[in-house]
Chain A
Amino acid sequence: MVAHAQRILTVTHDEPDDEAAARPRRPRLRFGLALVGTVVAAELLARVLGPFLPPPNAGLPAELDRQLERIEARREPIDTFIVGASELAVGVDPAALADGSDAVGAAHTVWLAGIGADTIGALARDVVLEREEPARLIVGLTSREANGADLFRAGRDGALLGSPAYRAMSGELGALDRLERAASQVSALVRDRDRLRRPLEIARHVVRNGTAEVPMLEIDEYGMHTDRLDIDRYAESPAHLEQERQAMAGYRLDVDALAELEVVLAAAQADGVEVVLVQLPVYERHYLALQPGLTERDAAFVTATEQLAERAGIRYLDARGELDWDDPTLWADVNHLNGNGTARLTDWLVDRLDAA
């Protein structure tokens, strides 16, 4: 009897029906292992690819970190902050301004390359007004900072203002941001995801044996942008000219960005900070030829900034209109001054500030 039962059991085990044979064994375990294995394999691949990944797309947050470090490193109290994009950062020498002006004690430049007027306003608010106690805020603009059709610029600005680094700086870091920061400490998939999103570029870098080094712009201890003071570097570069041409394509005055800047400047002025808005010079004969129809649109920008200053009740200085800038020895390219031009603009600004 027992032997018979054993034989039945044995047969049942040894000769399963076809359906049972076709069904995979331990499907949940196999599914789970494969899922976890895929994630782990991707993590390992991300680590292996690390040295070959292209530079981070979101370069502005890293640049902002460096700007904050520079301010931290200044031991003296800073009474004058100069805020803008690269045109202002290369155009005004903060050390020379402080040395030359009776009104200015210590000056420092806060800037990011290629940002728009709204982001300049955000920097003025979040980096300067909320964190420091300045007596004076100098903001400079060209029409390049108010092209509403420049979606590349808008995308970079949006990535900056939406980045965890920016939210951390402006004190708006949420629970998810903290979680993401913690995850980025342990996972290359999270840490490098800005760069992992571009498989074609990764492939190009692997083929060319590229490195992950991030090119950083040169900045001195006063925050000044210094690597465009050499005239030969950009003036003859077709790629650079093309970049400037693209930035002005389809020019549409970004009234919303200017309105956002106006809110910040008006609030600062109301809080007792002396706000100065500077119309920065451009190398007009080349700048206005970047795109057809730019002359009229650029003129509309100048009018809009004058009106902005009037509405906000802030001081408006027209460096572009008061001096003649049609001189190749002053320019590094179509909108960035070289060393000669910077000295000229800084001297003029010293005169204007001291004359007030």
Chain B
Amino acid sequence: MTFNSIQYFVLLGVVVALYWQLRHRAQNTLLLLASYVFYGAWDWRFLSLIWASTLLDHTIGRRLEVTDGERARKALLWVSVTVNLSLLGVFKYFGFFSDGLESLLNGLGVGWAAPTVDIVLPVGISFYTFQTISYTFDVYRRAIPATRNLADFALYVAFFPQLVAGPIERAAHFLPQITAARPRPTREQLHSALGLLALGLFKKVVVADTLAITVDQAFGNPAGQSSLNLLFGVYAFAFQIYADFSAYSDLARGSARLLGFDLLENFRQPYLSPNIQVFWRTWHISLSNWLRDYLYVPLGGNRAGAVRTSVNLALVMVLGGLWHGASWNFVIWGAIHGALLMAHRAFGGRAATPTEVPALRDLPRVVLTFHAVCFAWIFFRADTFGGAVDYLQGLATGGLGQVNLVEHLWLGVAMIAIDVLQRRRREVFFLDWAPHWRGVAFGAAAVGVLVFSGAPAVEFVYFQF
């Protein structure tokens, strides 16, 4: 059940209609049931993984709160981290590491064949695993109290609008919203929720799924394309993945807002960034912040000298890449971003908080940053390392030749226009407009979704992570 399906909107409509008839505790029970139905629609078997993770971290959280000895507390933390990462390791990385071990041993002359195990990747496991780990960490650090109510914690782990592709919530931000009674949304909140849903559907159905056609053509057969076609193919992917993932976040946040919840912001117009550091402050913010707080800072962050800071940056970005998938391509993607961040620091770059549309004088830096990000996207999108190399080779040597992958690129321009409007005003920018212009915006989104939704449905890119 994806967010761009009729089934999801039926589920959401039924849940919202029932939800506001109920008292607080019953609301939470309804949401928990709906979340398990939502997740079970993919595969009921994997609910057991969510339940295992929920029970483990709830129990460890309670124990951490009543345990004083530092060694015992650390041991509890490590149990949580080890079990959660083991689940992730088995379901997501088993093949990757066993193949790597096989290559290594064979290279050393030790004949060993990796066992062939066909493991299905449970949807959203990377997201909810990180969310439960962050809870245990925060309880360990006594940043938050452990939650006593198992049902509340279960909802924190499984809340359906953000279960399968984030934003990765923090207990300090989200648990209080679960435990306290939620006021009915104001008219302004309701409008912004509907606006986010409209914006998300537009980005997914009109922009991302249409650009996917161009991307598949370019990356599916780079040998048969001209350099210009391959360049347009990378641009198309840059906007496809941005539209796709930010659409998911918009739909998640819009759905949650209808239920009185506020989810973390995940994107803040990343392609308007004048440098790579700002890009990472505005792209997949909930993951960037997670990696910063639970990996980069514990490793020493930037407090232990320039060399150690660079090592920390590289390590965090490589692991961030690996989080996306069990493939060397994601590792390389992370390493490229790590290298870009190190270079940015080495040249004394600073990251200002992005609040305004870049001025004309910043445009060259914005364009340069965008192209650096696009270069890394080639490794992210290509199926194999060889595929990425073929793509780069084609870019360099394919000649100007035939140009037929330009047709959908106007959608990238549309995404930039949306970003500029959001940066100038606010996230759901059209809510500031006069009622009739707001009506035109909603009408245009409806027409766009109607016209573009006839093509075969495409899953959200980030579901695979």
B407: CB under 8 A from chain A? Answer: yes
User: Contact: B221 with A34, CB < 8 Å?
Assistant: no
User: Contact: A162 with B456, CB < 8 Å?
Assistant: yes
User: Contact: B456 with A158, CB < 8 Å?
Assistant: yes
User: Contact: A152 with B217, CB < 8 Å?
Assistant: yes
The bracket for how many chain B residues form the interface is: 20 to 34
List B contacts of A319 (CB < 8 A).
none
List B contacts of A8 (CB < 8 A).
none
Interface string of A127-150 (1 = CB under 8 A from B): 000000000000000000000011
User: Contact: A42 with B221, CB < 8 Å?
Assistant: no
Q: How far is the CA of A176 from the CA of B10 in the complex (A)?
A: 13
CB distance from B226 to the nearest CB of A (A): 12
Q: Which of A64-72, A115-123, A195-203 touches B?
A: A195-203
Q: How far is the CA of A353 from the CA of B443 in the complex (A)?
A: 62
User: Contact: B451 with A151, CB < 8 Å?
Assistant: no
Take A149-B220, A250-B224 as given contacts and tell me if A35 and B454 are in contact as well, using a CB distance cutoff of 8 Å: no
User: Contact: B435 with A159, CB < 8 Å?
Assistant: no
B120: CB under 8 A from chain A? Answer: no
Take A37-B439, A149-B220 as given contacts and tell me if A198 and B407 are in contact as well, using a CB distance cutoff of 8 Å: yes
User: Contact: A249 with B221, CB < 8 Å?
Assistant: yes
User: Contact: B216 with A151, CB < 8 Å?
Assistant: yes
Take A189-B451, A190-B450, A194-B454 as given contacts and tell me if A34 and B224 are in contact as well, using a CB distance cutoff of 8 Å: no
User: Contact: A35 with B446, CB < 8 Å?
Assistant: yes
CB distance from B201 to the nearest CB of A (A): 15
By beta carbon, the residue of chain B nearest A183 is B450
Take A42-B447, A176-B6, A250-B223 as given contacts and tell me if A35 and B442 are in contact as well, using a CB distance cutoff of 8 Å: yes
List A contacts of B6 (CB < 8 A).
176
User: Contact: A34 with B407, CB < 8 Å?
Assistant: no
By beta carbon, the residue of chain B nearest A29 is B435
Q: How far is the CA of A264 from the CA of B452 in the complex (A)?
A: 33
Q: How far is the CA of A152 from the CA of B6 in the complex (A)?
A: 28
List B contacts of A42 (CB < 8 A).
443-444, 447
B222: CB under 8 A from chain A? Answer: yes
410-443 of chain B: CB within 8 A of chain A: 410, 434-440, 442-443
A27: CB under 8 A from chain B? Answer: yes
Q: Out of B220, B410, B442, which one reaches A200, CB within 8 Å? A: B410
Q: How far is the CA of A28 from the CA of B406 in the complex (A)?
A: 40
Q: How far is the CA of A42 from the CA of B445 in the complex (A)?
A: 11
Which of the listed residues B6, B224, B440 has the most CB atoms from chain A within 10 Å of its own CB? B224
Take A162-B456, A189-B450, A199-B410 as given contacts and tell me if A34 and B217 are in contact as well, using a CB distance cutoff of 8 Å: no
CB distance from A305 to the nearest CB of B (A): 23
Q: How far is the CA of A176 from the CA of B442 in the complex (A)?
A: 23
CB distance from A288 to the nearest CB of B (A): 16
Q: How far is the CA of A154 from the CA of B217 in the complex (A)?
A: 10
User: Contact: B455 with A34, CB < 8 Å?
Assistant: no
By beta carbon, the residue of chain A nearest B213 is A155
User: Contact: B454 with A34, CB < 8 Å?
Assistant: no
By beta carbon, the residue of chain A nearest B216 is A151
By beta carbon, the residue of chain B nearest A194 is B454
List A contacts of B222 (CB < 8 A).
250
List B contacts of A295 (CB < 8 A).
none
Take A28-B435, A250-B221 as given contacts and tell me if A35 and B216 are in contact as well, using a CB distance cutoff of 8 Å: no
197-221 of chain B: CB within 8 A of chain A: 210, 213, 216-217, 220-221
Q: Out of A30, A199, A201, which one reaches B439, CB within 8 Å? A: A30
Q: How far is the CA of A27 from the CA of B6 in the complex (A)?
A: 29
Count of chain A residues with a beta carbon within 8 Å of a chain B beta carbon = 39
A182: CB under 8 A from chain B? Answer: no
User: Contact: B443 with A36, CB < 8 Å?
Assistant: yes
User: Contact: A149 with B221, CB < 8 Å?
Assistant: yes
User: Contact: B438 with A249, CB < 8 Å?
Assistant: no
List A contacts of B221 (CB < 8 A).
149-151, 246, 249-250
List B contacts of A28 (CB < 8 A).
435
User: Contact: A34 with B450, CB < 8 Å?
Assistant: no
Interface string of A188-214 (1 = CB under 8 A from B): 011001101111110000000000000
Q: How far is the CA of A259 from the CA of B6 in the complex (A)?
A: 32
User: Contact: B443 with A39, CB < 8 Å?
Assistant: yes
Interface string of A24-64 (1 = CB under 8 A from B): 10011011111111110010000000000000000000000
User: Contact: B451 with A193, CB < 8 Å?
Assistant: yes
List B contacts of A150 (CB < 8 A).
220-221
Q: Out of A24, A197, A245, A249, which one reaches B451, CB within 8 Å? A: A197
Q: How far is the CA of A249 from the CA of B223 in the complex (A)?
A: 7
Q: How far is the CA of A197 from the CA of B447 in the complex (A)?
A: 11
Interface string of A220-252 (1 = CB under 8 A from B): 000000000000000000000000011001100
User: Contact: B452 with A197, CB < 8 Å?
Assistant: yes
List A contacts of B224 (CB < 8 A).
245-246, 249-250
73-120 of chain B: CB within 8 A of chain A: none
List B contacts of A190 (CB < 8 A).
450, 454
Q: Out of B216, B406, B437, B447, which one reaches A34, CB within 8 Å? A: B437
CB distance from A32 to the nearest CB of B (A): 7
Take A151-B217, A151-B221 as given contacts and tell me if A34 and B439 are in contact as well, using a CB distance cutoff of 8 Å: yes
List B contacts of A193 (CB < 8 A).
450-452, 454
Interface string of A75-90 (1 = CB under 8 A from B): 0000000000000000
List B contacts of A180 (CB < 8 A).
454
Q: How far is the CA of A24 from the CA of B437 in the complex (A)?
A: 12
Can you give 6 contacting A-B residue pairs, CB < 8 Å? A31-B442, A35-B439, A42-B447, A197-B455, A249-B224, A250-B222
Across the A-B interface, the 3 shortest Cβ-Cβ residue pairs: A38-B443, A34-B439, A249-B224
Residues of A in contact with B (beta carbons under 8 Å apart): 24, 27-28, 30-39, 42, 149-152, 154-155, 158-159, 162, 176, 180, 189-190, 193-194, 196-201, 245-246, 249-250
Residues of B in contact with A (beta carbons under 8 Å apart): 6, 210, 213, 216-217, 220-224, 406-407, 410, 434-440, 442-444, 446-447, 450-452, 454-456
Beyond A193-B451, A197-B452, A200-B407, 12 additional contacts (C-beta under 8 Å) are A31-B435, A33-B436, A34-B436, A35-B439, A37-B440, A37-B443, A38-B443, A193-B454, A194-B454, A201-B407, A249-B224, A250-B223
